[in-house]
Amino acid sequence: MKKSIVTAILLISCIPLFAQVDNPKGVIQNPKGFKEKSHNFFMSKRLKQATGQRDTLHSINVVFNQDTTQRGIAYRTLDSAYNELMAMFNELNRKHKALQIDYTEMNQRYSDLLKSSLNKTEQLNLALKQKEDMLSAREKRLTELEAIIRRQDSITNALNEIVKRALLSFNSEELTVEMKNGKVYVSLSDKLLFKSASADIEEKGQEAIKKLGEVLNKNLDIDVLIEGHTDNVPLRSTINFKDNWDLSTERAANIVRILSDLSKVSPKRLTAAGRSEYMPKASNDTPEGRAKNRRTEIILTPKLDELYKLIDKK
């Protein structure tokens, strides 16, 4: 198709040239040897053919130009889209690399954390094991302490019954026996032991103390605390005692002497203390209350050496 178009263009361009060769003035003349009609027919046919080819070529050129324009527009659109996609690709590639770096760092941190967690778990397990061992040891000691305390309570209960039987001949107004806090309290009224403002022990009081001494000599693992108590009434002028402190202390000391000298209880087991009016058993506002406060308490405590040794264990 293109070859035919080119041929037509060349023929058209050559017509004036042929005319100029035979006719310098440009007037077309009949060639020699050809009749006028055949010449004109030939020239008309060739002209129409060349004109048609020119028009066809023009149409093709217009279509080609339109197609080229559309293709240019499409190309520029595709090129713009390509540039945008490349920019997006480059940005995504940059983010991918950044994420890859972050992933590597996070993976390293995870590995470090995992190692650290394992170490902490081992430390925690070791600490728990130590705590379990300590708890087991404490539970063992607690069991031993409970056994000793039960034995202590059993001894105290037995002692309480023995003392009650030994002092059965005395009435409740003269003395009482009770068990408190793992100890046996023998409370003797001042009517049984002393005359008013006196530290000398009456005969009946000495009899009660001697009976108690017999119990103590048969139960050697008992510590004895003797406490003298008074009411809050100040002493009248006397040459024997300065005040209730002095009186309560001397009364306790005299009972210790009877237990030690007459009953032969070891002095190492005996302690005397004067409490004066400061540990009342009842209110000092009534005569009955003051009578209860004027007393001597003999506190019997089973020895706790075994218990103390267990407590002191590491």
pLDDT one-digit tens code per residue, 78-109: 888 888 888 888 888 888 888 889 888 888 88
Q: Provide mean pLDDT across the span 105-119.
A: 78
Q: What is the pLDDT of residue 66?
A: 82
Q: What is the pLDDT of residue 306?
A: 53
Residues 6+ apart with CB under 8 A from 200: 194, 254
Q: What is the pLDDT of residue 17?
A: 43
HSE-CB for 207 with a 13 A CA cutoff:
10
Among 66-70, 156-160, 181-185, 198-202, the range scoring the smallest mean pLDDT is 66-70
**For residue 130, is pLDDT > 50?**
yes
Q: What is the pLDDT of residue 8?
A: 46
Sign of CA dihedral 255, 256, 260, 263: positive
Torsion of CA 295, 269, 177, 201, to 10 degrees: -40
> Rounded to two decimals, what is the model's pTM?
0.56
More confident of the two residues 299 and 100: 299
Q: What is the pLDDT of residue 299?
A: 96
Q: Provide mean pLDDT across the span 254-281.
A: 95
pLDDT-based confidence at residue 244 (cuts at 50, 70, 90): very high
Q: How far apart are CA 8 and CA 13, in angstroms?
A: 9
Query: Highest mean pLDDT: which of 11-15, 33-37, 211-215?
Result: 211-215
CA 87 centroid distance within chain: 51
Q: How far are the Cα atoms of 65, 85, 107, 117, 292 from residue 79, in angstroms, in the given order?
A: 20, 10, 41, 55, 117
pLDDT-based confidence at residue 9 (cuts at 50, 70, 90): very low
Query: Highest mean pLDDT: which of 5-19, 23-37, 56-70?
Result: 56-70
**The residue count for the chain:** 314
pLDDT-based confidence at residue 284 (cuts at 50, 70, 90): very high
**For residue 22, is pLDDT > 90?**
no
